[in-house]
Amino acid sequence: MCDFKIKDPNGGLDLLECKRIHPEGNGYDASNPNSYGGLVDKIHQKSESASDQLSSTQKNLSLENANTHLLMDISQYSRQSRSDHHPKMEIEGFSEGEVSNLKEKLEQNPVPEIDRITLCWTNKIFMDNIPCALVQYSKIVPLTEKSEQVLGYDGWTIEGYPANLTGTISELRVSSSSHPSSWIKYTYCGLSDNLVSWGPEETRRRN
């Protein structure tokens, strides 16, 4: 049996199975953005077992018309750190471009008996070497024409902002959707008094 059965108000139905993958061996090189072979193979391996669970659920509950949906967490396959939007911002985890490339690979070689995969990955975000956010992002990979949207998962965000640069958290924010790193940068700069300004500095003459 699969993990969840989800209905929407219009009568749509998703059978949802959740999986997480972990690196084994050297099949995927996180430092090489073109190295997706090991990761794609691992997703397919996990997807096969998920497909069996979803198919048996369809049969046992007589839900052959339900959408089969796999939620796959790939966070453990990313080991990269990068700067983004701000010279003092560091991000650990997949970039949007990397996951878009992975999506293309999966669409070219779809998993049988699964209508849709939602890829999830978590990024750690640091400002001034201080951890300030943990964000889970998601990307839908439609695999069949039957892949209508029932479950819309948009990740989550946990933000912790310091009152100063000591790293002591003075404000914690939790959101039921994923915020971009640019959002986190501007919020951090506003709440830590490390404000952002544009244009040349202006001074006023004293009479």
Please tell me the distance from the alpha carbon of residue 26 to that of residue 167, in angstroms, as a whole number: 36
Q: What is the pLDDT of residue 24?
A: 63
Mean pLDDT, the chain, rounded, equals 78
Q: What is the pLDDT of residue 37?
A: 62
Q: How far is CA 165 from CA 8, 107, 125, 131, 161, in A?
A: 46, 45, 15, 11, 10
**CB-count burial class (<10 Å; 0-12, 13-18, 19+) for 63:** middle
Q: What is the pLDDT of residue 175?
A: 87
Q: Taking CA 19 as the corner, what is the angle to CA 17 and CA 21, rounded to the nearest 5 degrees?
A: 160
Q: What is the pLDDT of residue 109?
A: 84
Work out the percent of the chain whose per-residue pLDDT is above 90: 10
Q: What is the pLDDT of residue 197?
A: 46
Work out the percent of the chain whose per-residue pLDDT is above 70: 75
Q: What is the pLDDT of residue 79?
A: 64
Q: For the chain, where are the alpha helices, taking DSSP H only? A: 37-60, 96-108, 181-191
- pTM of the complete model: 0.78
* Below-70 pLDDT ranges, the chain: 24-37, 79-80, 82-87, 147-151, 163-167, 191-207
